[in-house]
Structure 1
Amino acid sequence: MELLKNLLLVLHLLGWAVVLGGVLVTMREPKIPNGALHGALTALVTGILMVGVVEMGDLYDPNHVKIAVKLVVALAVTALVVVGVRKPEKVTTGYLGAIAGLTVVNVAVAALWR
């Protein structure tokens, strides 16, 4: 179970890296990058699966408040990316900044909240 959780963690972090990297690269020409939707969905799904694996395997007791905060932020990022893909005319530099900022907040919550 530990190996599965670690593999999901790697995929989770790669998903967030795709979102953050893609958004930062396209800040000058505001548009949602091609991989941002896939990265956000990958991060969202692998995060949910990680919690399930931890709960199933009794690896440790997860902090459910932290998980709830991360889930809300991940849903917000995913929603912003989906809206940006469907309505590209709404995408501005500030819009991309919100996606990048929320992505950094999600990673910071994971790393700093014990």
Structure 2
Amino acid sequence: METLQHLLLLLHLLGWAIVFGGTLVTLRDTRLPKGALHGILTALVTGILMVGLASASDELRDPNNVKVAVKLVVALVVTGLVVYGTRRPEKVTRGLLGAVLGLTVVNVAIAVLWR
């Protein structure tokens, strides 16, 4: 069970890295990278699976539900921004890209610093 949790964590972090790195690289062009949608959906789904697995398992530590809720809201906002930018590429601005980058950093910071 712990191995599955670690595998999901790896995929979760890779999803966020795809969103962050891809958006950072295309910041000058004011467009969202093609992989950003796949990255955020990977991060969102694996995050939900990790929480479900930890909640259902006796072996794993129970998740902090308030922290999970805050991270979920941030992830849903990033998902909405990425979907919007993917569906309407002509509407992508530096502000939208900055919001995606900033909220990605916020989500990772919450994961690392909230104890």
TM range (shorter): over 0.9
RMSD over aligned CA atoms reads: 0.6
CA distance in 1, matches of 2:33, 2:75: 17
Q: Secondary structure in 1 aligned to 2:34?
A: coil
Structure 2 partner of 1:54: 54
Q: Which amino acid aligns with 2:4?
A: L
With structure 2 as the length reference, what TM-score do the two structures score? 0.97
CA distance in 2, matches of 1:89, 1:71: 28
CA distance in 2, matches of 1:29, 1:76: 22
Cα deviation, residue 93, structure 1 = 1.0
**Number of residues of Structure 1 aligned to a counterpart in Structure 2:** 114
With structure 1 as the length reference, what TM-score do the two structures score? 0.98
Cα deviation, residue 30, structure 1 = 0.4
Structure 2 partner of 1:19: 19
Identity of aligned residues (%): 71
Report whether the alignment pairs 1:78 with 2:79.
Answer: yes
Kindly provide the CA deviation profile for residues 43-81 of structure 1, in whole angstroms up to 9, marking residues without a partner as x.
Answer: 000000000111111211210000000000000000000
Cα deviation, residue 94, structure 1 = 1.2
Cα deviation, residue 16, structure 1 = 0.1
Unaligned runs of 5+ in 2: none
Q: Which amino acid aligns with 2:52?
A: G
